C-alpha cells in the first residue's frame, strides 16, 4: 500500500518529507566495505534482504518467519507478527469457512518437518578451480546446506510440499554467490565460462514455474547467483522521470526508496514484497496498477545484461526506437536462460496526489465481466480493477467477519442479489483529487448499467489487503491436509466467461476422476483488463486426505486445467512465465518456428549453456 487513503493531504506531505530526511541520514550510516568496485560503494544501502535469507524468511513456506496464519487453542484463526494490517488479529469465522469449504478439520493436522535435515541435502560438488578464482575476486559465497536449499526452489506447490515433508533433494545448487554490483556479475560470468560452471540467477525466489529448480541431469557445478545485494538506486533523472536501479532490488525497497524522493514506479505485482526488479524483467511481470503505469515491458527504458558473450545494452535512452526487433524483448521473459540482468533504467512517476479505493457488487459473474469489458472499451479503467467471483467473495466474507472492519457490512443491504451468485469488483483510483473523483463517477455509472452497486471504499481496500496475506494462507492449508495453488492466463474478452466456467468444471471433474475425496475449491478473478482481453487468475485447492500422492494428483489436475485453458483460447501465461512447468506447451503456443528463433538466440548468446536452468525451451 503506497499511501493511506485516510490521511489528509498535509499529513501526507509531512510524512513524505520526514521519509526523505531519514533516507539521507541512512545513506551515510551504512557503508558496506565488502564491495570492491568503486561505483558500487557510491550509494551503499543494505536492503531488507540479508544474505542469509532464512534468518527472516521461512525456509519451507511463504514470506516472513514471524508472519503466519494458525488456529489457536480456541480453534480460532489468527495471523501472527506485526508486519501486516491483519497481524495480531483473530479471524473467528475463518475456521468455519475452512472446515466447510474443504471438509477439513482443525483436529486433523499435517504438520511440516520443523527444520531442514542437512543429511537430505546432496553434498556440494564444487569446481575447485572456479572457487579458487572466485575467492581472488573477494565476492562472498557460501556452500552451506541451508543457503543452497533456500535457492533450490521457488514457490510451486510441489516444491513447498517437498520441503515440508523433509524429502530428500535430488539436485540443489552447489554454491551461492552474492555479487554486489554489475562488475561482480561480469567477473562471475567470466569465471563460469572459463571453468564451465552452470549459473542460475536468483532474484526474489518467488517463481511459481519450477524456474529455480536445478535440472537433475546437470553434472557441472551449479552456482546460484543471488542478486539480492545489488539493491541500490544508482541515480534518479527527474528531467526524464527515469531511475537507474540495480536489478537485485526487491519491489518494496524500490518503492520505499523512490517514495523518499517523492517518486514511485507504480509497478506492484502481488509478490512485490519479495520479488526483484531483475526477476520482473526475466519473467515479463505485470503489476496491479498497470492501467496507469504499464507492465514491466512498458516501464523498462534501458537494460544492462551480462551474458556469456559479454554485456548487452543499448546505446541511448530514446523512448522508442525503430532499430529492428527490440533486443529488450529477447531479455524480457528470458527466464534466466541468457544472462543476468544487472541494471535497469525504468520510468518513474511522482507519487500520486490522491488515492481512493472502491468496490462494486454485481448480481453475478456475467454482469461483472460485462462491466469490466465496457470499462476497458471506454478505456477508463482505474489504476486497478479486479473482479472476484462468488467463491472469493464468500472467503472474504468469512475472513473479515466480526473484525474491526466488515467487508460485507454494506453488501447485505443489496437485497435481491443472491448471496451465492453475487460477485465483487475492487477498484483503486490514483491521480489528482478532482480527476479521481470524476473518474470514479464514470466507472460507477458504467457499473450501474450492468446492475452493479457501489459497495464502499473500505470493502475495496480490504480486497487489496488480502492480496498480500493470501499467499500465507496456503501454508495454513498445508498444515491441515489442504493443498492449494494459483495459476493465471490471459484471454480475449469474448471467451472470458466460457474459459472460467470450463476450467472450473474441468478441475472439478479431474479431481473426481483422480479420487479426490472432497469437493475442491475452484475460484477465479479477473485481475487485469486490456483493450482486447483480460487476465484471469485461478485459485484451486482441495483436501487431500485419502490420497496416496497428493502432489502428483494436484499436478495432473493443474496440467488438465492448463490444457483446458489453451483449448478455450487462453494463453500459456500472462505473467508467471513458463519455467520448466509449462515448457511442454511452448511449441503449441508460439509454433516450432518461434521456438527455433528463441533457440537460435540462446545458441548464439550462450553456446555452452552456462545459464543452464533449462527454462522456457
Instruction: Give, as one character, the DSSP assignment of residue 131.
Output: H
Q: Across the strands, what pairs with 225?
A: 177, 201
Phi, psi (deg, nearest 5) at residue 357 = -85, 165
Q: Beta strand pairing status for 242-246 and 340-347?
A: antiparallel
DSSP track, 141-157: EE--HHHHHHTS--S-H
340 is in an annotated binding site: yes
User: From the CB of 569, what's the least distance to another protein, in Å?
Assistant: 4
- Helical packing angle, 94-102 and 390-400, nearest 10°: 140
CB of 501 to another protein, least distance (A): 7
CA distance 26 to 30: 7
Q: Is 309 part of any known ligand binding site?
A: no
Of 84, 537, 539, 554, which is the active-site residue?
A: 537
**Binding status of residue 499 toward another protein by CB under 8 A:** yes
Ligand-binding annotation for 284, yes or no, is yes
Which of 37, 497 has the CB closer to another protein?
497
Taking alpha carbons only, the member of 575, 617, 610 closest to residue 279 is 575
CA angle in degrees (0–180, nearest 5) for 307-311-314: 125
User: Residue 491 CB, nearest distance to another protein (Å)?
Assistant: 9
Does 603 bind another protein (CB under 8 A)? Our answer is: no
Closest of 297, 301, 320 to residue 245, by C-alpha: 301
d(CA 1, CA 23): 19
**Has 337 been labeled as part of a binding site?**
yes
Which residue is it, cell 487462453?
A: 570
- The reply to whether 539 sits in an annotated binding site is no
Of the candidates 292, 304, 232, which has an alpha carbon nearest to the alpha carbon of residue 268? Answer: 292
Q: Does 505 bind another protein (CB under 8 A)?
A: yes
Nearer to another protein, 149 or 376 (CB): 376
State whether residue 470 is helix, strand or coil: helix
Q: Which residues of 219-252 are buried (b: 16+ CB within 10 A; e: fewer)?
A: ebbbbbbbbbbbbbbbebeeeeebbbbbbbbbbb
Kind plus residue range of the DSSP H or E element containing 431? strand 423-431
For the bound state, the minimum distance from the C-beta of residue 519 to another protein, rounded and expressed in Å, comes to: 15
For the record, the C-alpha cell of 515 comes out as 479420487
Q: How many residues does the chain have?
A: 617
Shortest distance (Å) from residue 591 CB to another protein:
12
- Give residues with Cβ within 8 angstroms of 414, minimum separation 6: 361, 422, 453, 455
Closest CB to another protein among 440 and 563?
563
β-partners of residue 486 are 539
| Interface pick for another protein out of 284, 506, 562, 614 (rule CB under 8 A) | 506
From residue 239, give the alpha-carbon distance in Å to each of 256, 261, 299, 349.
Answer: 21, 14, 16, 11
> CB of 574: closest distance to another protein in angstroms?
15
**456 makes contact with another protein (CB under 8 A):** no
Which residues, at least 6 apart from 529, have a Cβ–Cβ distance to it below 8 Å?
Answer: 291, 372, 373, 375, 376, 381, 385, 535
With contacts defined by CB under 8 A, name the span among 237-245, 471-479, 492-500, 605-613 that binds another protein.
492-500
Q: Does 567 bind another protein (CB under 8 A)?
A: yes
Q: Does 566 bind another protein (CB under 8 A)?
A: yes
444 assigned to a ligand binding site: no
Query: E strands of 118-205, at which residues?
Result: 141-142, 175-177, 198-202
Pick from 498, 549, 584, 608: which binds another protein (CB under 8 A)? Answer: 498
SS3 state of residue 307: strand
Nearer to another protein, 452 or 570 (CB): 570
Q: Is 192 annotated in some ligand binding site? A: no
Consult the annotation and say whether 338 binds a ligand: yes
Task: Check binding of 569 to another protein (CB under 8 A).
Answer: yes
Residues 434 and 157: their CA atoms lie apart, in Å, by 45
The residue (of 506 and 575) whose beta carbon lies closer to another protein is: 506
Nearer residue to another protein within complex by CB, 309 or 495: 495
Check residue 568 for interaction with another protein (CB under 8 A). yes
Is 199 within any annotated ligand binding site?
no
Q: Choose one: 171-179, 205-213, 273-281, 562-570; the region binding another protein (CB under 8 A).
A: 562-570
Beta carbon of residue 494, minimum distance to another protein (angstroms, whole number):
7
The window from 265-273, 359-367, 428-436, 563-571 that contacts another protein (CB under 8 A) reads 563-571
For another protein, give the closer residue by CB, 60 or 568: 568
**What is the closest distance, in whole angstroms, from the C-beta atom of residue 534 to another protein in the complex?**
15
Out of 32, 39, 434, 494, name the contact with another protein by CB under 8 A: 494
Q: Is 47 annotated as a binding residue?
A: no
Whether 354 is catalytic: no
Least separation in angstroms between residue 505's CB and another protein is 4
Residue 502 binds another protein (CB under 8 A): yes
How far from chain centre, in Å, is Cα 54? Answer: 19
Query: Where does this chain touch another protein (CB under 8 A) — which range of 335-343, 466-474, 500-508, 534-542?
Result: 500-508
What is the chain's percent helix, strand, coil content, to nearest 5? 40, 20, 45
Which CB, 9 or 498, lies closer to another protein? 498
Of residues 494 and 603, the one with the C-beta less far from another protein = 494
Which range, of 31-39, 234-242, 497-505, 607-615, touches another protein by CB under 8 A?
497-505
- Binding to another protein by residue 574, rule CB under 8 A? no
Q: Quick one: 252 or 508, whose CB is closer to another protein?
A: 508
Binding residue count for another protein, defined by CB under 8 A: 13
Using DSSP, state whether 443 is helix, strand or coil.
helix
- 482 belongs to an annotated ligand binding site: no
With beta carbons less than 8 A apart as the criterion, state whether 571 and 134 touch.
no
CA 90 centroid distance within chain: 26
The answer to whether 80 is a known ligand-binding residue is no
Q: How far is CA 249 from the centre of its chain?
A: 14
From the annotation, which residues make up the binding site for FAD?
A: 201-207, 283-286, 335-341
What residue ranges bind another protein (CB under 8 A)? 494-495, 498-499, 501-502, 505-506, 566-569, 588
Positions at the binding site? 201-207, 283-286, 335-341, 474
Binding site feature residues for substrate: 474
The catalytic residues are 537
Amino acid at each position: 500500500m503506497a499511501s493511506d487513503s485516510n490521511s489528509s493531504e498535509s499529513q501526507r506531505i509531512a510524512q513524505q518529507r520526514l521519509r526523505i530526511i531519514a533516507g539521507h541520514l541512512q545513506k551515510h550510516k551504512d557503508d558496506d566495505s565488502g564491495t570492491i568496485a568503486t561505483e558500487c560503494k557510491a550509494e551503499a544501502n543494505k536492503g531488507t534482504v540479508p544474505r542469509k535469507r532464512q534468518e527472516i524468511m521461512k525456509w519451507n513456506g511463504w514470506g516472513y518467519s514471524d508472519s503466519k496464519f494458525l488456529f489457536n487453542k480456541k480453534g480460532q484463526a489468527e495471523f501472527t507478527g506485526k508486519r501486516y494490517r491483519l497481524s495480531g488479529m483473530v479471524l473467528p469465522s475463518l475456521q468455519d469457512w475452512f472446515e466447510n469449504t474443504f471438509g477439513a478439520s482443525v483436529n486433523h493436522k499435517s504438520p511440516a518437518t520443523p527444520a531442514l535435515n542437512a543429511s537430505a541435502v546432496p553434498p556440494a560438488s564444487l569446481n575447485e578451480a572456479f572457487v579458487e578464482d572466485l575467492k581472488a575476486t573477494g565476492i562472498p559465497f557460501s556452500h552451506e546446506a541451508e543457503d543452497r536449499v533456500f535457492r533450490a526452489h521457488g514457490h510451486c506447490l510441489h516444491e513447498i510440499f517437498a520441503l515440508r515433508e523433509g524429502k530428500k533433494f535430488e539436485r540443489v545448487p552447489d554454491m551461492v554467490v552474492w555479487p554486489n554490483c554489475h562488475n561482480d556479475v561480469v567477473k562471475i560470468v567470466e569465471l563460469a565460462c572459463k571453468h564451465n560452471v552452470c549459473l542460475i540467477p536468483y532474484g526474489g525466489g518467488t517463481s511459481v514455474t519450477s524456474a529455480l529448480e536445478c535440472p537433475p541431469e546437470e553434472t557441472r557445478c551449479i552456482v546460484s547467483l543471488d542478486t539480492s545485494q545489488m539493491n541500490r538506486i544508482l541515480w534518479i533523472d527527474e528531467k526524464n522521470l527515469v531511475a537507474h536501479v540495480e536489478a537485485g532490488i526487491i519491489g518494496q525497497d524500490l518503492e520505499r526508496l523512490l517514495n523518499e524522493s517523492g517518486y514511485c514506479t507504480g509497478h506492484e505485482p502481488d509478490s512485490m514484497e519479495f520479488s526483484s526488479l531483475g526477476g520482473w524483467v526475466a519473467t515479463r511481470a505485470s503489476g496491479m496498477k498497470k492501467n496507469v503505469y504499464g507492465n514491466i515491458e512498458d516501464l523498462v527504458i534501458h537494460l544492462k545484461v551480462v551474458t556469456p558473450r559479454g554485456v548487452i545494452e543499448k546505446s541511448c535512452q530514446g523512448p522508442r526506437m525503430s532499430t529492428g526487433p527490440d533486443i529488450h524483448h529477447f531479455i524480457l521473459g528470458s527466464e534466466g536462460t541468457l544472462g543476468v540482468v544487472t541494471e535497469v533504467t525504468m520510468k518513474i512517476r511522482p507519487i500520486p496526489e490522491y488515492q481512493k479505493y472502491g468496490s462494486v457488487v454485481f448480481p453475478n459473474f456475467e454482469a461483472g465481466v460485462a462491466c469490466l469489458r465496457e470499462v476497458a472499451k471506454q478505456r477508463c479503467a482505474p489504476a486497478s480493477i479486479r473482479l472476484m467471483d462468488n467463491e472469493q467473495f464468500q472467503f472474504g466474507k468469512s475472513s473479515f467477519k466480526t473484525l474491526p472492519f466488515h467487508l460485507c457490512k454494506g453488501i447485505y443491504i443489496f437485497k435481491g442479489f443472491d448471496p451465492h451468485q453475487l460477485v465483487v469488483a475492487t477498484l483503486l483510483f490514483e491521480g489528482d483529487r478532482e480527476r479521481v473523483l470524476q473518474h470514479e463517477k464514470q466507472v460507477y455509472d458504467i457499473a450501474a448499467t450492468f446492475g452493479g452497486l457501489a459497495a464502499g471504499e473500505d470493502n475495496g481496500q480490504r480486497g487489496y489487503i488480502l492480496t498480500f496475506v493470501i499467499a500465507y494462507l496456503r501454508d495454513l492449508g498445508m498444515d491441515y491436509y489442504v493443498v492449494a495453488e494459483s495459476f493465471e492466463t490471459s484471454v480475449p474478452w469474448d471467451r472470458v466467461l466460457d474459459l472460467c466456467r470450463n476450467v472450473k468444471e474441468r478441475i472439478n471433474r479431474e479431481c473426481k476422476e483422480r479420487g479426490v475425496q472432497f469437493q475442491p475449491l475452484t475460484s477465479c478473478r479477473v485481475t487485469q483488463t486490456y483493450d482486447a482481453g483480460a487476465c484471469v487468475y485461478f485459485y484451486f485447492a482441495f483436501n487431500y486426505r485419502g490420497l496416496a500422492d497428493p502432489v502428483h494428483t494436484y499436478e495432473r489436475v493443474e496440467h488438465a486445467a492448463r490444457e483446458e485453458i489453451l483449448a478455450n483460447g487462453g494463453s500459456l501465461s500472462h505473467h508467471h512465465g513458463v519455467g520448466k512447468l509449462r515448457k511442454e506447451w511452448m511449441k503449441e503456443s508460439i509454433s516450432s518456428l518461434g521456438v527455433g528463433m528463441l533457440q537460435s538466440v540462446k545458441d548464439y548468446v550462450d553456446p555452452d549453456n552456462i545459464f543452464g536452468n533449462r527454462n522456457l525451451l
